[in-house]
Amino acid sequence: MIIAIDGPAASGKGTLGKRLAEHYGFAHLDTGLLYRAVARVLMDRDVPLADRDAATQVAQNLDVSHLEDDSRLRGAAMGEAASVISAYQPVRDALLAFQRQFGEQPPGAVLDGRDIGTVVCPSADVKLFITAAPEERARRRHLELLRRGEQAEYETILDEIRRRDERDMNRSTAPLKAAADAVTLDTTHLDADAAFQAALRIVEDKGS
């Protein structure tokens, strides 16, 4: 069984993906970490993010064994960098096979990102599109950064989220959008537990 979860930054899709995977005993992949990892390698090598060829080469040889353990991939700056990298079709092509292979493992897998239901796993058993108002997503990201001890201004984060939404939704390569057969879940007024219960009901209904 494959559960595909898409949505914009800070919508809560990653948290839902992890909880659904734990609930069903499935593997979980935050596909955004793949693009963040590519960006991190480029930045570590002082290679401009605009260098598509270098980004593609990194993606083709990416070590995916410690993605979840690399705290450097979680920051806002890396998220911005990943948004640039993810617009490159050759990079997406290089990472596509791994994502699809991940989704095929038994007994099931949960993948979250921005093009899972539309490109990576178009035949997924359940597709969710998780969204929330930009202001609420900025508030969540602001709190997350403060908990990590990072300095952050709410207005700056809100501007970054709006800019990233614009880039992700309007890029020519795999733009962010809900699959035609996805169920949209707006988490603006839901806490983590309520969002999980709502998502679980959708999965149970679609999976049955």
pLDDT in tens, 43-76: 999 999 999 999 999 999 998 887 877 888 877 7
- Dihedral over alpha carbons 117, 123, 125, 129 (to 10 degrees): 10
Q: What residues are paired with 127 via a beta bridge? A: 4
Tell me if 9 is assigned to a ligand binding site.
yes
The H or E element spanning position 3 is strand 2-6
CATH of the domain at 82: 3.40.50.300
Residue 4 has pLDDT above 70, yes or no: yes
Tell me if 7 is assigned to a ligand binding site.
yes
| Residue at token pair 């593609």 | 56
Tell me if 13 is assigned to a ligand binding site.
yes
Q: What is the pTM assigned to this prediction? A: 0.91
Tell me if 206 is assigned to a ligand binding site.
no
Cis peptide before 8 (omega within 30 of 0): no
And the tokens for 95? Answer: 């990472």
Give every strand in the sheet of 27-30, ordered side by side: 27-30, 109-113, 2-6, 126-131, 183-186
pLDDT tens by residue, 98-110 = 999 999 999 999 9
Q: How many domains does the chain have?
A: 1
Provide the pLDDT for residue 173. Answer: 81
Tell me if 149 is assigned to a ligand binding site.
no
The H or E element spanning position 27 is strand 27-30
Where helices occur in 86-175 by DSSP H, the ranges are 89-103, 134-147, 154-170
Q: Which residue range forms the structural domain that includes residue 116?
A: 2-207
Tell me if 8 is assigned to a ligand binding site.
yes
Tell me if 83 is assigned to a ligand binding site.
no
pLDDT tens by residue, 71-129 = 888 777 888 899 899 889 999 999 999 999 999 999 999 999 999 999 999 999 999 99
